[in-house]
Amino acid sequence: MRLGFAGLGIMGQRMAANLLRSGHSVTVYNRTADRPEVRALLDAGARVAQTPAELAAGAEIVGICVTDGAAVAALLHGPHGILGALRAGQLVADHSTIAPAQARALAEAAAAAGGEFLDAPVTGGDRGAAAGTLTIMVGGSKDGFARLAPYLRCVGKTIVHVGPSGQGQLVKLVNNFIGGIALAGAAEGLWLGLRGGVPLERMMEVLSAGSAQSVSLQLLADRMRSGDAAPGFSLRNRLKDMDLAMRTAQELAAALPVGGAVAELFRERLALGEGDLDQSVLVRRYLAQGENQGAG
């Protein structure tokens, strides 16, 4: 296949590399082209497009993986945007995490141009992206999903067509929303045990084998052991997804009190200047209480 791929961040560069490895002809586009990760892909056989429109011109499928909805809109719209170059039968697969409502609007705009825009957000982190084992949740038509599937199998392992346009994004928000709350719960629980004098390792021996076990608990405990705050998933992006989930819930008139409270705790850390650190710095909120341990 002739493929285009826009957005060569931590996830995108690994996904593009796997597309190349699968033997496809791949053209890439990145807002800032003069970066080592772009050059590495060119060395591996990719070509580079100067504009999103040029990327779309020769491709059967265009993949997108950028930071947020504004970045997706910037690629799609405008005189050099993907939508202006889109022809009948072309597919756009958006792997970014954006609002379901925006995904539906972009799908309508693409359909007006004769193409199809499918939301196909991913989960599995940089390791899953490198290994080609991402979980991908797709929103769009059955036909579009069937045509997209061979492309998706180059970058992911668990690939699920969850429903019509926007529902891939909705499930992604649900995934990150549940994970965000579980992370906050793990932070409070581990802090309670630490405050009571139980060492982290003793607790984790039990909790890993008990009903508290979760991906978030394991992630948090690993970070607390290592003390590493370099972002695997940044606090800023975690909050972005919590806020998208809460806004989507508002549109659906769904009241989610725990999610609302947890979003505010992440926002507190953002206000303290920790947005670009790993989401696990949320636990600092609790550890800081230890500073006044003798005050009671």
Residues 123-142 that bind its own copies (CB under 8 A): 123-125, 135, 137
Query: Which residues inside 231-270 make contact with its own copies, applying CB under 8 A?
Result: 245, 248-249, 252-259, 261-262, 265
Q: Which is nearer to its own copies, 15 or 56 (CB)?
A: 15
Which of these is catalytic: 142, 157, 172, 240?
Answer: 172
The helix-helix angle for 235-251 and 167-195 (nearest 10°) equals 120
Near its own copies by CB under 8 A, which window of 51-59, 65-73, 106-114, 164-172? 164-172
DSSP secondary structure letter of residue 66 = -
Q: Collect all residues with Cβ–Cβ distance below 8 Å to 210 and sequence separation of at least 6.
A: none
Find the farthest-apart pair of alpha carbons in the chain and give their distance in angstroms, rounded.
70
Query: Which residues inside 167-206 make contact with its own copies, applying CB under 8 A?
Result: 167, 170-171, 173-182, 184-186, 188-193, 195-199, 202-203, 205-206
What's the token pair of residue 229? Answer: 């705050």
Q: Is 172 a catalytic residue?
A: yes
Helix/strand/coil for 158: strand
Query: Which residues inside 49-108 make contact with its own copies, applying CB under 8 A?
Result: 100
Phi, psi at 196, each rounded to 5°: -85, 0
* Shortest distance, position 109 Cβ to its own copies, whole Å: 21
C-alpha separations of 68 from 179, 183, 227 in Å: 19, 22, 28
Near its own copies by CB under 8 A, which window of 20-28, 111-119, 141-149, 165-173? 165-173
Q: Which is nearer to its own copies, 63 or 259 (CB)?
A: 259
Angle at 149 between CA 244 and CA 120, to 5 degrees: 10
Structure-token match 């997108």, residue found = 64
Q: Which is nearer to its own copies, 67 or 175 (CB)?
A: 175
List the catalytic residues: 172
